[in-house]
Amino acid sequence: MITFNHQRRSFCLSIIFLFYVSFSILGCSASTDDGEIFEVKEGESIAIKLDHQTSPAEQYTQYIKDYNGKEVYAVHVKNRAAIKLYDLASGELFEEIKIPTTGPDAINSVGHFYIHNQDSIFLNQGLLFKLVLVNRSMEKLDVYDLMPDDIDWDPNTYRTTSTDLASLTFDMKRDFVVINNSIKTQTIPYLYPLDPKMTNVEGLIISVDLASKSFYKFGDFPEEMKNKVWGGFLSLYFLRENSEKGESILSFAASENIFVYNNSQKFNSIYYASSNKIKKISHYVKSDPVQEQEMDYYMNMPVYGGIYHDEKNGYFYRIAKYPNGDNYDPYKSDFLDPMANPRDFCIIVLDKDYKKVTEFDIKQPKDGVYYDMCFANENGLYIPYVDLNNEDVLYFKNFKVYDTK
C-alpha cells in the first residue's frame, strides 16, 4: 500500500559557493497593463559535488522538496542502476538506492523514476508499459500495467498503428503527482514522430487509480499542430500541474501558447506564453527519416520547453530556446543529452492566472553550458549550469521575480 507523508518541515537552504561562475544574463524589468513593474534578479547559487559515476547531464532526474527533512536533487544513473540523492543544502551525496537488475527480484528497463517518500518509489518501465511501486529496499509493492487491451502488433517490426498505446515520461520538465491515491503524469505516443497521425493522438495526460489500477487519458494536441509533421523534437510536450487550482497545463514545443485543463479533465483555456523576439514555428515539410535534415530543421527553429511553478509566489516560468542553426552537431540531441547543442534561451514569466508579466534571456557563455532541467521553489527558478573546465560540479543558478510596485 502506498504511504503518504504530508508533513513539510521548515528549514533554511544553505548555499555553497565553490567558486564564482561567470555567465551572461540579460536582466529585465517589465510593466503590466495595470502599472505593476516586475524585475528579475540573480540570487545565490547551489553547487552539487557530483560523484565519479554521475554525469552533470543525466537524463533521469527529480527535485524533491522534502525527503526526510532534506531538499534533494535525485539522479537515476542508468548505467549503474542506481538512484543517487544529493542534499541541496550541503551539495553532498548522502544516499544511494540500488535497483536490482538480476535475480528473481530484478526490475529492468527502468528509466524515469519518482520518489514520493522513502516507502513509495515509482519506477517507470517505459518499454514494457508498466509502472512499478517499490519501497526503499526495492521490494515490489505493486505493478501497474498500462498496456491497453486489444492492441494489434506487427509481428515483423513489433510496431503498431494504434493511437491508444503510449508509455509514461516524467522528469524535472514533466510533472508526476500523487493526489488522493491516484497519480497523474504525461504519456508519449508509441508512434513514428514523422507520421502526421502523431499529432492526432488523444490522451496526452494519464490519470491512474492506484487502488483499482484503472486509468484514463485526456488532452490532445493544439489544432495548429494537428495533421502536420513536426519531427521528433518539435512534437514534444510538457505537463505541469497547478495543484492550487487543480489544473493541468500543457506546454507544446511548437506552440507559443499554453493549454490548460480544469480539474474535471476538460479543456479550459489557452494562454499566450511567448516573446515577440520568437518567430512563429513552421512545421517540417518532409516525412523521410534523414537525421541530418530533421536536425537542421530543429536547430533553425525556436522551441518551447517545460514550464515550472513557484507555488508560494504564484509564478510560472516557461522555457523558450532561440534558434542555433550555425553551430551544432547533427548527431547529438538535447533530448537525450541536455548539454548537447546548447542554445541561448528565454524565460517567460507568468503570474498565477497565466498572464505574462516579464521575460529574461539566458546567454550561453563560451566556457560553460546552461540547460533546461530546472526546478522552482519559493526562492524562484533554478537553472542548471556546468563549467566545462570542471564538470564535477553541477550548479543551479537562481533567478527570482520581484514585483517592485
Domains of the chain plus CATH, in order, are 24-403 (2.120.10.30)
E strand segments, 13-78 = 24-26, 29-31, 37-42, 46-49, 60-67, 70-77
| pTM of the entire predicted model | 0.89
Own/partner long-range contacts of 90-97 (Cβ < 8 Å, ≥24 apart): 90/14, 90/16, 91/16, 91/46, 91/47, 91/48, 91/49, 92/49, 93/49, 93/50, 93/51, 93/54, 94/70, 97/121, 97/136, 97/138
Residue-wise pLDDT for 116-168, tens only, equals 999 999 999 998 999 999 999 999 999 999 987 777 777 776 666 666 778 89
Radius of gyration, alpha carbons of the chain: 21
What is the separation of C-alpha 130 from the centre of its chain, rounded to a whole number of angstroms?
20
Average of per-residue pLDDT across 2-27: 37
Residue-wise pLDDT for 316-375, tens only, equals 999 999 999 888 999 998 988 999 999 999 999 999 999 999 999 999 999 999 999 999
Indicate the pLDDT class of residue 302, thresholds 50, 70 and 90.
very high
Region at 227 (left for phi over 0; alpha for psi -120 to 50; beta for the rest): left
Give the chain's mean pLDDT. Answer: 89
Q: Residue 253: pLDDT above 50? A: yes
Of 291 and 135, the structure prediction assigns the larger pLDDT to 135
Q: Residue 21: pLDDT above 50? A: no
Distance CA 185, CA 217 (A): 10
Query: What does the longest C-alpha to C-alpha distance in the chain come to?
Result: 65
Average of per-residue pLDDT across 31-37: 60
Q: Which residues pair with 175 in a beta bridge?
A: none
Per-residue pLDDT, 16: 29
Per-residue pLDDT, 160: 67
Q: Which residues contact 232 (CB under 8 A, 6 or more apart)?
A: 193, 194, 294, 335
Per-residue pLDDT, 263: 79
